[in-house]
């Protein structure tokens, strides 16, 4: 794209745009341009102003200052209708789909084709087939959206924008919900789209993706554009520095360590999911004190059910779980906690926090009933307050006060609250961390990784479950690969490669890999 | 994250939270009063005279105050019952039925227990027993619904409504049958008078205000303390706000749901028991003119906060009590009060309207009254 000798056509230009929200200048004199047929990544940490800028372009907010130029003409964007009319489409991070409707119904929603007073489903389906054929977006128009995997639902969202004749597509954190394979698929689709003249703004905070897929990269920090670069002239470390504004250590520093006794022993564990289907088939492994065992695998291969069974959230249907010498098979989360389990749950907003509680209350969510936090069933506010303030300081939770509701914190700070609570508990012998850095910014990831390694170095057993292969490889001493509810291999982290693990994750056997 | 004004001292924080929480209910009442005034005007009345009459009737003299307090007493208990359930994420529509079974048991113990035992009981034993058994009956009645919710996922809204039918029809059957006052002059469905030993003493001679009112205020304080200062309260609120997180945190969610319904039913049962022992000295069919249902409105208006419930109870009590005087002065029908109450409720429930009228920015999350069916 960029090696074209003629000046590339600019389809969207943002000139000097500023937006003030109460107490924060979310966008400060932003200049940004998008060329025809390019993937322009917008990189930045949470709160850098990426979403604000996109909401301004999409007409959800109005800028205080500055102007937009679309296809060479100054554009007035007061509502999403204006931006759709200008050919701008947006795929939100959280999909705006109605699960019980079909793909065709979702796509035509708000722009229905009517024939003699009723919906002309056939015409719409035909048009969808035509568009999906044209852009290589395979979707069955008559499928019910709720039955489709997340990756396909995202295609429906993209189709929705193309159906409305968008030639500028904004993708807001599109890979946050995808498996690595689905993400690869998405990148292929993105390249297909640009080859056919669609321009894409790709919002993300994942460095690797940005370098792999984009033509140009604009980095934002604190409401300002730091720089615009091409992948050829930069690298991960440099981008990370621009995002965070300081040197970031991307590799985890980890000392060699002798693992001791087996803290967690899992024998022949079988687990069924909500629909009563067995998703974990007789899994056995152990985690020693002072080691990190990583469980790698594509999402949906039984990791969620396995971790729920190990933490007391779900009853296993067979097998045995021993923590620190105690048989805790099928015991309650409280029994597990009291035996020395610290659990960083997969879904921090569903399990890990009560969002409308203060940080203080969330800091004692699991220990509120124990002294010094309670005496004879009565909560001791002073003890709670002291403890919360200490943890906020020790774990660098960015908040004006401990009274702030957890729901008002950024994702990274929410996760810090959980990590602080779980890792500070007295008598922790085993840490189970499930997707501990999902959706977090570089700074928070760095911090949480260092805390996990610190636990290991203090002789605590750590079970790390993650869909991010890089995270697994950076932190683990040994790596177990999970595929279709089974552990297909357990390998030494130093003796394996990304490629080998990738093959195992895709179902190849250990011998052939 | 947007920085915002945040008071750090506990007292400042308290005042701030009170004023924030009270703002929308206050404006809802104000709006309802204004619209009510317009309605009065349209039907040919004088709104100022009507509202003055209402205030006089409710607070004009000692007797008016006393009657308002009498009205407020069951409202406070039943309002607390619904509010406590809300805090635990449960919608207890069954306060009316729990109140009825509480009143039936209280009146039975009140008039029949000495006869069964064959000797008189001292008031210090008989009165507490009468109140406590009525309270426990209400709790038992509600805990059935709690157990159904916890173990089968049966939705409490449906089940409390069904339990209301069972309670109210059984009460009717008993009061027309075995428990009917057998005195020759009686033709209505009511129990005999309870023994003197099962009655609360009067506070002021000649006024109907009774110790049950004081007990109601103390109960409100106790419920506030229970919810906010104890581990049980923490568990109830956690289950109410996020049952998944509660389970993760090691709370026994099933037990907490049952316990929440038990406590809620006990409060509703108390409303019935206190009406019997403090005011009527018997149970009579139709004595409760929808206390249990008004209680839902009161809990909503009071934002499920015990102090809010007490204030909302007073408002409803004053409107009910002042209505007669208003009617006497202006010849406006008492039903107008129901319209006024409905308007207040409308604006509290649909607080978006109030926020829109007065341009208040929404803050924080909205109150979840009940979760999805079977959820």
**Residues A62-113 pLDDT 10s:** 899 999 999 989 998 998 889 999 999 999 877 888 888 999 989 988 777 7
Closest residue of chain A to B8, computed from CA coordinates: A401
Q: What is the pLDDT of residues B84-128, one digit of tens each?
A: 999 999 999 999 999 999 999 999 999 999 989 988 899 999 999
A345, part of any domain: no
Residues of chain A with Cβ-Cβ distance to B367 below 8 Å are none
On whether residue A91 sits in a domain, the answer given is yes
Judge if A190 and A57 occupy the same domain.
yes
Is A433 a member of any domain? yes
Q: What is the DSSP letter of B292?
A: H
- pLDDT of amino acid A250: 62
- Residue A193, min C-alpha distance to chain B (Å): 35
Beta-ladder partners of A387: none
Select the highest-mean-pLDDT range: A312-321, A411-420, B26-35.
A312-321
Sorting pLDDT into bands at 50, 70 and 90, what band is B11?
low
Does residue A333 register a pLDDT over 80? yes
- Three-state secondary structure of B315-371: HHHHHHHHHHHHHHHHCCCCHHHHHHHHHHHHHHHCHHHHHHHCCCCCCCCCCCCCC
**What is the pLDDT, as a whole number, of residue B9?**
60
Helix (H, G, I), strand (E, B) or coil at B143: helix
What distance in Å separates residue B273's CA from the closest CA in chain A?
A: 28
Q: Check whether residue A94 and residue A124 sit in a common domain.
A: yes
Q: Do A47 and B1 touch (CB under 8 A)?
A: yes
pLDDT value of residue A280: 94
A236 and A205 in a common domain: yes
Q: Does A197 lie in the same domain as A133?
A: yes
B366 pLDDT higher than 60: no
Half-sphere exposure of B202 (CA within 13 A, CB side): 10
**B248 and A377 in contact by Cβ < 8 A?**
no
How many folded domains does chain A comprise?
A: 3
**Chain B residue numbers touching A376 (CB-CB < 8 A):** none
Q: Is residue A464 part of a domain?
A: yes
> Confidence class of residue B324 from pLDDT cuts 50, 70 and 90?
confident
Please give the pLDDT value at position B74: 96
B130 close to B109: Cβ distance less than 8 angstroms: yes
Query: Is residue A261 within 8 Å of residue A85, measured between CB atoms?
Result: no
Tell me the residue range of the domain where A454 lies.
249-340+427-513
Residue A159 and residue A192: Cα distance in Å, rounded? 13
Domain boundary among A380, A411, A426: A426
Q: What is the pLDDT of residues B121-166, one digit of tens each?
A: 999 999 999 999 999 999 999 999 999 999 999 999 999 999 999 9
Q: Which of A244, A269, A286 is the last residue of a domain?
A: A244
Chain A CA closest to residue B228: A379
Q: Which of A206, A225, A244 is the last residue of a domain?
A: A244
Other beta carbons less than 10 A from residue A8's beta carbon:
15
Whether the per-residue pLDDT at B371 is higher than 60: the answer is no
Written as six digits, the tokens of B356 are 């829109």
The mean of the pLDDT values for chain B is: 88
Q: In percent, how much of chain A has pLDDT > 90? A: 52
CB atoms within 10 A of CB A288: 20
Look up the CATH number of the domain holding residue A311.
3.40.50.300
Angle between helices B47-59 and B306-330 (to 10 degrees): 120
**What is the average pLDDT across B287-306?**
88
Residue A456 tokens read as: 């290991």
pLDDT at A47 > cutoff 80: no
Are residues A317 and A383 located together in one domain of the fold? no
Residue A347: inside a domain = no
Question: Which has the closest alpha carbon to A296: A499, A507, A469, A484?
Answer: A469
SS3 A260: coil
- What pLDDT, on a 0 to 100 scale, did the predictor assign at position B364? 44
Task: Please tell me the distance from the alpha carbon of residue A174 to that of residue A161, in angstroms, as a whole number.
Answer: 14
Confidence bin at A2 (pLDDT 50/70/90) = very low
Backbone phi, psi, residue A475, to 5°? -100, -25
B13, pLDDT greater than 70? no
For residue A110, being part of any structural domain is answered with yes
Confidence of residue B26 (pLDDT cuts 50, 70, 90): confident
pLDDT single digits (tens) A239-256: 888 887 777 666 666 777
- In degrees, to the nearest 5, what angle opens at C-alpha B293 toward C-alphas B290 and B299? 135
Average pLDDT, chain A: 88
Structure tokens at B15: 């005042």
Cα–Cα distance for residue pair A42/A202, rounded to 1 Å = 6
pLDDT average, residue stretch B275-297: 88
What's the rounded mean pLDDT across residues A433-451? 86
Domain co-membership, A262 together with A304: yes
Q: Do residue A415 and residue A431 come from a single domain?
A: no
Looking at the fold, whether A163 and A264 belong to one and the same domain comes out as no
Spell out which residues of chain A touch residue B227, defining contact as CB-CB under 8 Å.
none
**Could you tell me which chain A residue has the CA closest to the CA of B240?**
A354
Q: What is the mean pLDDT of residues A384-398?
A: 92
d(CA A219, CA A227): 6
Q: Does B361 score more than 80 pLDDT?
A: no
pLDDT for the residue A345: 94
| Contact in structure between A7 and A203 (CB atoms under 8 Å) | no
d(CA B244, CA B238): 9
What pLDDT does B362 receive?
56
Measured in angstroms, the CA of A472 and the nearest CA of chain B are apart by 24
Task: State the first-to-last Cα distance of chain A, in angstroms, to the nearest integer.
Answer: 37
> Higher pLDDT residue, A4 or A271?
A271
DSSP for A387-448 reads HHHHHHHHTT---S-TTSBGGGS-HHHHHHHHHHHHHHSTT--EEEEESTTTT--HHHHHHH
- For residue range A176-212, list pLDDT tens digits in order: 767 677 788 899 999 999 998 999 999 987 788 889 8
pLDDT at A470: 83
Contact A248, A72 (CB under 8 A): no
Residue B367 reports pLDDT greater than 50:
no
Q: Based on the fold, state whether residues A145 and A82 are members of the same structural domain.
A: yes
Q: Is B183 on the interface with A (CB under 8 A)?
A: no
Same domain assignment for residues A362 and A490:
no
In a shared domain, residues A433 and A406? no
Q: Same domain for A199 and A299?
A: no
Backbone angles phi, psi at A360, to 5 degrees: -55, -50
| Chain B nearest-CA residue for A336 | B250
Lowest-confidence pick of A22-26, A48-52, B262-266: A22-26
Helices (H), A231-378: 236-244, 303-311, 333-338, 359-363
The whole-number average pLDDT for the span B314-322 is 91
Residue A348 inside a domain? The answer is no
Chain length of chain B = 375
Strands (E), A153-198: 168-172
End-to-end alpha carbon distance in chain B: 31
User: pLDDT: is A253 or B299 the higher one?
Assistant: B299
pLDDT of residue A204: 84
Strand pairing partners for A262?
A288
Q: Look at residue A376 and tell me if it is in a domain.
A: yes
């Amino acid at each position: 794209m960029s090696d074209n000798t003629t000046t590339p056509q600019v389809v969207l230009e943002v000139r000097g745009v500023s937006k003030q929200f109460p107490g924060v200048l979310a966008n400060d004199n932003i200049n940004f341009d998008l060329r025809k047929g390019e993937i322009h990544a917008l990189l930045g940490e949470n709160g850098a102003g990426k979403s604000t800028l996109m909401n301004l372009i999409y007409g959800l907010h109005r800028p205080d200052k500055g102007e937009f130029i679309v296809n060479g003409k100054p554009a007035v964007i007061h509502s999403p209708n204006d931006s759709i009319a200008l050919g701008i489409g947006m795929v939100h991070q959280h999909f705006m789909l109605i699960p019980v409707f079909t793909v065709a119904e979702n796509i035509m929603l708000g722009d229905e084709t009517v024939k003699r007073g009723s919906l002309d489903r056939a015409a719409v389906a035909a048009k969808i087939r035509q568009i999906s054929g044209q852009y290589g977006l395979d979707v069955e128009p008559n499928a019910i959206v709720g039955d489709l995997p997340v990756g396909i639902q995202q295609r429906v969202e993209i189709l929705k924008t193309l159906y409305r004749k968008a030639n500028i597509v904004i993708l807001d954190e599109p890979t946050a919900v995808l498996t690595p394979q689905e993400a690869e698929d998405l990148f292929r689709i993105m390249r297909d789209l640009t080859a056919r003249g669609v321009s894409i703004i790709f919002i993300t905070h994942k460095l690797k993706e940005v370098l792999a897929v984009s033509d140009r990269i604009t980095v934002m920090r604190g409401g300002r554009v730091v720089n615009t670069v091409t992948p050829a002239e930069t690298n991960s470390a440099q981008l990370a520095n621009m995002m965070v504004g300081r040197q970031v250590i991307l590799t985890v520093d980890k000392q060699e360590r002798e693992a001791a006794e087996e803290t967690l022993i899992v024998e022949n564990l079988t687990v069924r999911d909500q629909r009563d289907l067995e998703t974990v088939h007789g899994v056995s492994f152990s985690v020693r004190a002072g080691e990190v065992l990583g469980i790698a695998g594509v999402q949906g291969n039984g990791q969620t059910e396995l971790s729920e069974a190990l933490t007391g959230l779900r009853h296993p249907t067979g097998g045995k779980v021993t923590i620190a010498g105690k048989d805790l098979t099928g015991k309650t989360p409280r029994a597990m906690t009291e035996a020395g389990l610290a659990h960083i749950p997969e879904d921090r907003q569903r399990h890990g926090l009560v969002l409308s509680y203060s940080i203080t209350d969330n800091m004692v969510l699991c220990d509120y009933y124990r002294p010094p936090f309670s005496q004879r069933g009565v909560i001791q506010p002073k003890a709670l307050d002291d403890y919360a303030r200490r943890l906020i300081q020790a774990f660098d939770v960015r908040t004006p006060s401990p009274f702030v509701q957890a729901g008002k914190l950024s994702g990274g700070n929410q996760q810090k609250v959980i990590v602080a609570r779980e890792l500070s508990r007295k008598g922790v012998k085993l840490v189970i961390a499930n997707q501990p850095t999902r959706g977090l910014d570089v700074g928070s990831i760095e911090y949480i990784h260092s805390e996990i390694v610190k636990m290991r170095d203090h002789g605590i057993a750590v079970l790390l479950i993650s869909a991010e292969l890089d995270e697994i490889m950076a932190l683990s001493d040994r790596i177990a690969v999970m595929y279709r509810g089974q552990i297909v291999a357990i390998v030494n982290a130093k003796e394996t490669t990304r490629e080998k693990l990738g093959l195992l994750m895709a179902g190849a056997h250990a011998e052939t890999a | 994250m947007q920085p915002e004004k945040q008071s750090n001292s506990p007292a400042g924080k308290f005042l701030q939270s009170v004023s924030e929480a009270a703002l929308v209910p206050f404006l809802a009442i104000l709006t309802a009063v204004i619209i009510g005034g317009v309605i009065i005007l349209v039907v040919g009345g004088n709104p100022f005279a009507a509202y003055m009459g209402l205030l006089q009737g409710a607070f004009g003299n000692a007797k008016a105050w006393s009657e308002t307090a009498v009205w407020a007493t069951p409202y406070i208990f039943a309002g607390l019952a619904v509010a406590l359930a809300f805090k635990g994420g449960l919608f207890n529509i069954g306060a009316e039925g729990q109140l009825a079974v509480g009143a039936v048991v209280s009146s039975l113990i009140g008039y029949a227990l000495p006869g069964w035992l064959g000797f008189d009981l001292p008031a210090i034993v008989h009165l507490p027993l009468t109140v406590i058994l009525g309270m426990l009956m209400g709790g038992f009645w509600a805990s059935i619904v709690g157990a159904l919710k916890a173990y089968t996922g049966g939705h409490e809204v449906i089940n409390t409504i069904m339990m209301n039918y069972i309670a109210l029809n059984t009460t009717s059957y008993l009061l027309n049958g075995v428990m009917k006052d057998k005195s020759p002059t009686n033709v209505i469905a009511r129990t005999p008078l309870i023994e003197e030993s099962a009655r609360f003493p009067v506070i002021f001679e000649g006024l109907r205000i009774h110790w049950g009112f004081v007990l109601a205020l103390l109960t409100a304080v106790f419920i506030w303390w229970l919810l906010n200062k104890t581990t049980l309260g923490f568990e109830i609120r956690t289950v109410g706000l996020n049952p998944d997180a509660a389970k993760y945190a090691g709370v026994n969610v099933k037990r907490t749901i049952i316990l929440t319904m038990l406590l809620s039913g006990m409060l509703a049962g108390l409303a019935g028991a206190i009406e019997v022992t403090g005011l009527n000295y018997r149970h009579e069919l139709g004595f409760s003119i929808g206390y249990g249902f008004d209680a839902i409105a009161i809990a909503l208006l009071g934002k499920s906060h015990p102090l809010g419930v007490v204030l909302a109870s007073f408002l409803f009590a004053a409107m009910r009590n002042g209505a007669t005087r208003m009617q006497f002065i202006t010849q406006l029908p008492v039903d107008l009060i129901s319209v006024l109450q409905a308007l207040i409720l409308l604006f509290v429930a649909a607080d978006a309207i109030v926020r829109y009228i007065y341009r208040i920015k929404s803050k924080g999350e909205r109150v979840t009254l009940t979760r999805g069916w079977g959820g």
